[in-house]
Chains A and B, each alone.
Chain A
Amino acid sequence: EGRLVQSGAEVKKPGESLKISCQGSGYRFNTQYIGWVRQMPGKGLEWMGTIYPDDSETTYSPSFQGQVTISVDTSISTAYLQWSSLKAPDTAMYYCASRYSRYDPFDSWGQGTLVTVSS
């Protein structure tokens, strides 16, 4: 079974940029979708978007379109989630997760990256 390992916790100030990562191993990284999921403190899961590494086709949730950028570097089996200008409400745990097709569930999850935005 595949494994996803995310980058470590981040503490940033409002207005700063940030790029967090998710590295896959133990499976064919290029041919499984990688999704990003936000979980605000004490709240539920929110799907942010999904990328297909083989062709970088990306689909964003309307709630996150224009707010974040999802990208991938297949040479190092790594997906990224980035912000150009963080806001306090971006404080949350962010999970990456993989699935075989757009219809399949997310069957493998990263451990999460906690992002704290505070002045």
Chain B
Amino acid sequence: QSALTQPASVSGSPGQSITLSCTGIGSDIGDHNYVSWYQQLPGEAPKLLIYDVTKRPSGVSDRFSGSKSASTASLTIAGLQAEDEADYFCSSYRNPKSVLFGGGTRLTV
């Protein structure tokens, strides 16, 4: 199973907005809205940031937002803060019953 494609690294300055991309194919991201994003801080387990393309779990800052166009999902982080420095992984459901992860993007602030 091919992973979803994410850029290996991105960087930004404090206060800036940045967008991370996640590209799949028609049978995963392009086929439905079951796309999620996870943040992994150094030495910690992943944490759910965004699900169903645009929804935020309770407690997640509204600086994080998600979107999708065709087979590419995006995570936008507004007002970058030093604490946002982490690895970010996208994930998608793929029929039947499978889960795909992206290779991850390391964000440097």
Contact = CB atoms under 8 A, between A and B. Distances in A.
A44 B104 contact: yes
Interface stretch (B9-17, B46-54, B67-75): B46-54
Interface string A17-61: 000000000000000000101000000111100100000000101
A61 B98 contact: yes
Contact of B101 (A46, A59, A111, A112): A46
Contacts of B36: 105-106
Given A61-B1, A62-B1, A105 B51 contact: yes
Contacts of A59: 97-98
Contacts of B57: 107
Interface of B: 1, 3, 32, 34, 36, 38, 45-48, 51-52, 57, 87, 89, 91, 93, 97-104
8 contacts: A44-B103, A45-B89, A50-B97, A59-B98, A105-B48, A106-B38, A106-B46, A109-B47
